[in-house]
Structure 1
C-alpha cells in the first residue's frame, strides 16, 4: 500500500495493484471564494497550489471515491478533467444522481461489501460536526475501508468528528492504517466540522497499534488546527510515533 497526500482531503491510494483517487479538489490556488464560515473569509480557496501536475494525479487512476460532494472534495476541475468513463464510487443515491448528471457513466454506490477487482470496499459512517442543526446543514458523509488479503487494512474516515460511529468502525474493522481529516475546520458558532487534536488522540487510544495519517489541514479558509500544533500535541500526549502529518505531496508505504 502506498498513500500519497495531495492537498486537503485529496489522496491517492495504491492498493493491491489498483490506483484510487479519493476526494479530488484539483483547482488552482485561490480559484474559489472562501467558505462563509466566519473564519478567514478574506482568503480564497484552495489556499495552496497542487504539489504536482493534474496529469500526474489522474494518470492511470482505476477508480475515484467521493466520500461526499462538498466543493473541497469534488470540485469543478475534477468534474472537467477526469475521464467520463472512469469508475466512481459514491455514498448514496442522491450523490450518484448528481455525479451522473456531471457526465460520469460508471457510478456505483458503496455498500457494506463492494468488490472492485478483488478489493473489498466498505462504506463507513460519519458525522460532519456535532449537533442536530449543524448535521442537518452539512448533510450526509461517509468514509471507506479497504481490505485485501495481500494488504493491510486501511480506513479513510472522511469528514467526520470522533463519535460513537467511528468507534464502531474501529472496533469492527481493526484497521492498520487510518486516515483522518484533522484540520478542526469550524463553522461560525457551531464548532468543529471534522476532527481536532483531541479527536485524533481518541482515535489513537481506540486503535493504539494503528498508524494515523492526518490530512485536510491548512488547505481551506476555515481550518483552525495547524500541522505543527498537531505534531506538538502528539509529542505531548506520547503518540507521535503513531502519528503522521504529511505535507502536500508526501507519500508513505505500508
Structure 2
C-alpha cells in the first residue's frame, strides 16, 4: 500500500492488485485548486496557502473518490471540474450526494454503512466537527464522516476525517481495529470557538487507543485557520516516545506502508 499526502486532507491511497482484482487508486477529499484559489476562513489570507505539490494528471484518474464532507477544503471547484464524471464517488449523506449529482457526477453512493468497489470495502464511521458547544454556536459546520477501508491482503486503513476526538472515533478504533489511522491534526480554530479538528495531543491519545497502529498525521500547514504544524506533531510524538509509529508526511510525500 502506498499513501501519498497531497495537501491538506487530500490523500491518495494506492492498493496493489489482487488475483481477482486490479490495483485500486483511492482519492480522499480532493482539494485540487491552485494556491490562493478560494477565500480564507479567517478573512485575511486566501486558501490554500501552498501550491499543489503533485501533478494534476497524477490525481484526476482515480478508481474511486471518497468525499468525507463538502466543505471547500475537502471538495473544491477544481475537483468538481477535473474529475471524470463516471468515477465512483462515496459520500456521507443525501445532501452531499445531490451536490455531486448536480455537478454532473453519475455514480454517487451514500455510505450507509458500507459499499464495495473492486473487492474493497468502504465503511462509514462517525465524527464530530467540533465540540458540542462549537456545533451549537455554528450548526452550519455540518455533519462529517470517517471511512474504514478494508481490502483482502492489505492493512486496514481508518481515515478519521474532520473530527475532534470523540466516542465515535474511539468506537471506530475498537470496532475495526485498523492497522493504519489517518488523522487530521491541524487543530483548526474559528474565531471565538473551540478547535474543530484534532491536534498534536490527540495523536498521543489515539496511540493509547491503538498502540499497534501506524498513525499518519495530515491536514496541516495548508489553511489559514490551522494552528498545529508538522514540527509540533513530531515534537509531541517524540516527547511521548511514539515517533516510531507516528508518520508526518510532507506535502507530496509518499509512504510505503
When normalised by structure 1's length, the TM-score is 0.95
1:25 aligns with 2:31: yes
Name the CA distance, whole Å, in 2 between partners of 1:181 and 1:199.
Answer: 10
Q: Take 1:134 and 1:74, find their aligned partners in 2: how far apart are those partners?
A: 24
Q: How much does 1:137 deviate?
A: 2.6
Moved over 4 A (4+): none
Residue matched to 2:147: 144
Q: What residue is the counterpart of 2:20 in the other structure?
A: none
> In structure 2, what is the Cα distance between the partners aligned to 1:130 and 1:62?
34
- State TM-score, norm by structure 2: 0.94
SS of match in other structure, 2:147: strand
Gaps of 5+ in 1: none
After superposition, what is the alpha-carbon deviation per residue over 1:212-245, rounded to whole angstroms, capped at 9, x for unaligned? 0000001110010011011111111111111111
Q: 1:152 to 1:247 in 2, by over 3 A?
A: same
> Residue in 1 aligned with 2:252?
249
Aligned counterparts of 2:5 and 2:121: Cα–Cα separation in 1:
22
Partner of 2:75: 74
Q: Partner residue of 1:6? A: 6
Indicate how the Cα distance of structure 1 residues 63 and 134 shifts in structure 2: closer, same or farther if over 3 A, else same: farther
**Matched-pair contact (CA < 8 Å) for 1:27–1:77:** yes
Q: Provide the rounded CA distance (Å) in 2 between the counterparts of 1:66 and 1:183.
A: 18
* Residues 112-164 of structure 1 deviation map (CA, whole Å, 9 limit, x = unaligned): 23111111110010000102415623100001001122101100000001111
Identify the residue that residue 124 of structure 2 maps to in structure 1. Answer: 123
CA RMSD of aligned residues (A): 1.1
Q: Describe how 1:103-118 pairs up with structure 2 within 5 A.
A: 103-118=104-119
Q: Is the 8 A contact 1:128 1:135 kept in 2?
A: no
Number of residue equivalences: 249
SS at match of 1:58: coil
1:233 to 2:236 alignment: yes
